[in-house]
A and B are shown apart, each in its own frame.
Chain A
Amino acid sequence: MDHPNTDVIQGTLDMLILKTVSLEPMHGFGIARRVEHISRGVFRVNPGSLLTALQRLERAGWLNSEWRQTENSRRARFYTLTRAGKKQLATEKTDWARRASAIARLLSAEG
């Protein structure tokens, strides 16, 4: 059986997380599911990498976290975007757009 590659593109996980959390405060699984849904299953995030990335972003000052009740009344750690995180997301978005369009141009170039 041939699995399609669902790995997140190297270096973009942070941006995907920041973007997802920018929509609303979310817990770890919520972020993973949202990334999967919106990408229509193209990207899947494994929990180990996700939680490590969340710690990193929090220590970088782009996310804050707190323990809260979920709607089905479980305790979960919710992440919210900070002001610095918002700025960072904007930078990464611009950066990504620039690179993606460059790659698109390169790939569509005809001899």
Chain B
Amino acid sequence: MSLWRQLTYGLRSLLRRSARDRDVADEVEHYFEEASAAGMARGLSRDEAKRDARLEAGSIAAAREQARSYGWENAALALIADLRFAARQLFKHRAFTVAATLTLALGIGANTAIFTVIESVLLAPLPYRNADQIAVLNTRYSNMGLTIPRVTGPDAIDVRDESKRLEAVSLYGGGHLGVQLRGHSAYAVVTLTDADFSRVFQVKPIAGRWFRSDEEQRAAVVREAFARDNFGSPQAALGQTVHVEGDAFEITGVLPDWFDFPAHTQVWEAARFNAASTNRTAFNFRAVARLRPDLTLRAAQTELNEISRRLAIAYPRANRDKLIILEPLQQALTGDIRPTLLLLWATAGLILLIACVNVTHLELVRSLERQREIAIRKALGSSQWQVMRPLILESLLVSILGGAAGVLLAFPTVHVLVAMAPKELPHAGSIHLNGWVLLFTAGLGVLTALASSMLPALKAARVDAAEALKRDTSRGMSGHGAATLRDGLVIAEVTATFVLAMGAGLLLHTMTNLLARNMGYDARQLLVVDADAPAHSTQDALNAVRQFNELFASLAALPGVEHVAGIMGLPTGNYGSNGNYKIEGAPPPSPGHQPSANFSVASPGYFQTMGIPIQRGRDFDSEDTYQNPFVAVISQSLAKQSFGSSNPIGKQIQCGLDSDKWMTVVGVVGDVRQDSPAEAPGPTLYMPMAQHPFYANQINIVLRTHVKPLTLLNPVQKIIRDTNPAIALRFTTMDTMLDQSMAAQRFRAVLISCFAAIGLLLAVLGVYGTMAYSVTQRTFEIGIRMAFGADRSTILRTVLEHAAKLALWGIAAGMVLSLMLARLVTSMLVGVRPMDPVSLASAASLLLLTALAAALAPGWKATHVDPMAALRTE
């Protein structure tokens, strides 16, 4: 009730200011009239009565003022008046306002954009019910400190069957597979999983239901968009058949589009895992689990440790030192991108710091200019707070402007960020500005306002009115403290910028290292076709291989094509395998130290097509068939790793890819970097497609061309379609694939470089501002010097030396800071040490040159001071 009255009465008096004033005035006047009337009633004359009333009750004006100043609305009015004053001041000093606003917009914009990504990726909870109860199963070899984000089938099944603290465990795997619908074939992301998957995620299909465990290899669930695109509507998709790799699955349910696990899955097919494999060293699957309600991860882990121990006793060869480890799903999803995002956040923080320093500097200059105004205010009795208030309000207005501009800037920046992001960035589609981000930005704005106005406001509060009024800044007699403070700000700015430039230098150096790396093959002019031919039986697979061989021949006949080959395990490609191998006659290795290699299955001519040199022996040929003795080609590293300096040709080698047959080594080829240029060249074991048909129906066809690779897309597609329309196809080039394998590094390098550039720009503004200001301040002094015969070069040198001194201090501090921060980025560097002298030297010289360049214009102006004019200026 009373609060309501406070509010309404206050508002009424705010809106009808004059009515309220009149009211109060009338009431006061009436009071005095009554008072004098009372006096007259006592027999005084009119004038005497009036005087008496005044004597008694004080002046009418004082009473009116006192009555009028009651109420919260008066404080609000004072604030509005101050804000209007601040706004007018900002409007009058447009150069300052624009500079400060743009500076803050850059700082706040960068932070808002990065925070948008961080909020949606790292902070926002996953969209699943009780998502914090979902965890991923990893395998850790405690003796080697190695964690594999996968599990073996038998281990996962044992965990599923024995654990009482996990409510459900679901295995899954898959990837891009050929999907056939009504005779036409396309690639889709297919996840092979089980009935427990829906118990882990507890997601409700928008149509139909999740498949049951008795529907293994018969049923599938598809995504809403997939259902719409292919069947018209989710309802229409139910009961329809979809072929994956030639196997038929009946669609039993449709999941909503927002459900995106594993990322980009369009078809979840009911797979059979129970009998899939008894191999406890083949990490073929991933697994997710849901904890029982109210159980912590730690409690569930304790139980898994116990189960792991039991498995180690039961299977000492495969499971010694092996632990199944739970990792929260969110952490597992964001683990790869987290360091990058945090690095970006830190960088954006530095930018904001530089922006704040710049604005502080600008405000400091402004407040020095208004020292007289402040002095007069103080002389008239303003309190410290009253003097500081306009400064802080002005700063607040500038941050509001800067924040608004920053948010506008953040919209396109977020789009660019998401578009550039490497594929490790999860749920990129759902990244957008929301309330939390705006709240963060608002907080940031207030913080910057306070931070950048703190120094000027405190200085204003300490202004001694008498001193300030005596001093005349235009005569070069400003206090020494102010100059030191400004110099300190510039040094801080250079320091922060140096750290940014250093980071950018390191990441760019990493990037150039990667681009210049010899991959072990020639990536130019290579067309890559993902081809997936459905096969069920050995005979099917052998037919597919024969068909592929015919295809290679007809593709090679196309004009513009030099060589054609097929490969399972193309560098940077989707397919590939790896594992342990054995050499005949070699002493048995200790467990956990078996030699391992990448496994690739290739057609004859692959090495020639890729430009991988054959160093010894021969390539595969048409005689290496399924019926003939098995052969293998090994890479240089494998030869060195297992045969040392002896000749490996003719030796026997065995691996568990698909058969236990011993293979005769017939050739040695050069090493390649398998997954990305960041990786060291490693051992690879190549096997012929014809002898491993089950790994030969899902391959990459590589075409070495002497025309632009993508111009051959249509003829290549036509030839393959004519041969077998069931083969699903995707086209790309080796260059593109290589490029994508460096997406994370490029993302970091480009962004940090952009930030460093923004930092540099702000630092230039900072140095320029300080120099220009100090030259203006010292015009009088320079005039005197010149009048006494100082020549222009001396004057210019003084200015430049000053700038250089500041820059060098900043660079020195920056080096120390970089040294301290270096270990944070070590893991992101390739072929560069954190204290890389080249990056160090380039960052240092860049900043020094920039500082000098920024000081040049003010220095030039200083040399053109007219002594007579300077001495006369007031």
Min C-beta distance of B234 to chain A, whole Å: 60
| Interface-located stretch among B56-64, B324-332, B340-348, B751-759 | B56-64
A25 CB within 8 Å of chain B: no
B64: chain A residues within 8 A (beta carbon):
48
With A48-B67, A55-B71 as contacts: A27 and B30 at CB distance below 8 Å: yes
B428 contacts the other chain (CB 8 A):
no
Which of B34-42, B82-90, B116-124, B363-371 lies on the face that meets chain A?
Answer: B34-42
Supposing A47-B31, A51-B27 touch, asked if A61 and B66 sit within 8 A by C-beta, the answer is no
| Known pairs A47-B63, A48-B63, A48-B67; A58 contacts B9 (CB<8 A) | yes
Q: Closest residue of chain A to B9, judged by CB?
A: A59
Q: Which residue of A lies closest to B71 (CB)?
A: A55
Per the bound structure, the CA–CA distance linking A55 and B74 in Å amounts to 14
Contact with B along A46-79 (1 / 0, CB 8 A): 1111011001101111000000001010111100
CB distance from B211 to the nearest CB of A (A): 67
Say yes or no for B2: interface residue by CB 8 A criterion: yes
Q: List, in ascending order, chain B residues with CB within 8 A of A59's CB.
A: 2, 5-6, 9-10, 71
Q: Which of A49, A55, A58, A60 is packed against the most chain B CB atoms within 10 Å?
A: A55
Asked if A29 lies at the interface with its beta carbon under 8 angstroms from chain B, I say: yes
From A46, A48, A49, A74, B30 is in contact (CB under 8 Å) with A74
Residues of A within 8 A of B58 (CB): 46-48
Q: Which residues in chain A, 1-43, are within 8 Å of chain B measured between CB atoms?
A: 27-30, 32-33
Contact string against A for B residues 796-825, beta-carbon threshold 8 Å, 1 for contact and 0 otherwise: 000000000000000000000000000000
A102 within 8 A of B: no
**Using Cβ atoms and an 8 Å threshold, which residues of chain B touch A28?**
27, 30-31
Q: Does A90 contact B (CB under 8 A)?
A: no
A30 to chain B, nearest CB (A): 8
Interchain nearest-CB distance for A34 vs B (Å): 12
Interface status of B158 (Cβ within 8 A of chain A): no
Q: Does A46 contact B31, Cβ atoms closer than 8 Å?
A: no
Contacts A51-B63, A56-B70 given: A74-B33 contact, CB under 8 Å? Answer: yes
Asked if A100 is an interface residue, CB under 8 A from chain B, the answer is: no
- Specify which of A46, A55, A61 is in contact with B63 (CB 8 Å cutoff): A46
The binding surface of chain A is classed by DSSP as helix
Interface size class of B (residues with CB under 8 A): 20 to 34
CB of A103 closer than 8 Å to a CB of B = no
Known contacts A27-B34, A75-B26, A77-B30; decide if A51 and B67 are in contact (CB<8 Å): yes
- Give A95 to B70 CA distance when docked, in angstroms: 27
Q: How far is the CA of A106 from the CA of B494 in the complex (A)?
A: 71
* Chain B residues with CB under 8 A of A44: 56
CB distance from B58 to the nearest CB of A (A): 6
Cα distance A79–B390 when bound, in Å?
A: 40
Enumerate chain B residues within 8 angstroms of A46, measured Cβ to Cβ. Answer: 57-58, 63
Q: Considering the chains assembled together, what is the distance between the CA atoms of A59 and B228 in angstroms? A: 63
- Do residues A52 and B66 form an inter-chain contact, with CB atoms below 8 A? yes
With both chains docked as a complex, state the minimum distance between the C-beta of B77 and any C-beta of chain A, in angstroms. Answer: 16
CA distance A94 to B31 in the complex (A): 31
Q: Are A47 and B28 in contact (CB under 8 A)?
A: yes
B300 beta carbon closer than 8 Å to chain A: no
Subset of 11 A-B contacts with CB under 8 Å: A27-B30, A29-B35, A30-B34, A46-B57, A46-B63, A51-B27, A51-B66, A52-B69, A56-B70, A59-B5, A77-B27
Q: Which residues of B contact A (CB under 8 A)?
A: 1-2, 5-6, 9-10, 23-24, 26-28, 30-35, 37-38, 56-58, 62-67, 69-71
List A residues at the B interface (Cβ < 8 Å). Answer: 27-30, 32-33, 44, 46-49, 51-52, 55-56, 58-61, 70, 72, 74-77, 84
Pairs A-B, 6 closest by C-beta atoms? A48-B66, A29-B34, A51-B67, A48-B63, A47-B63, A61-B2
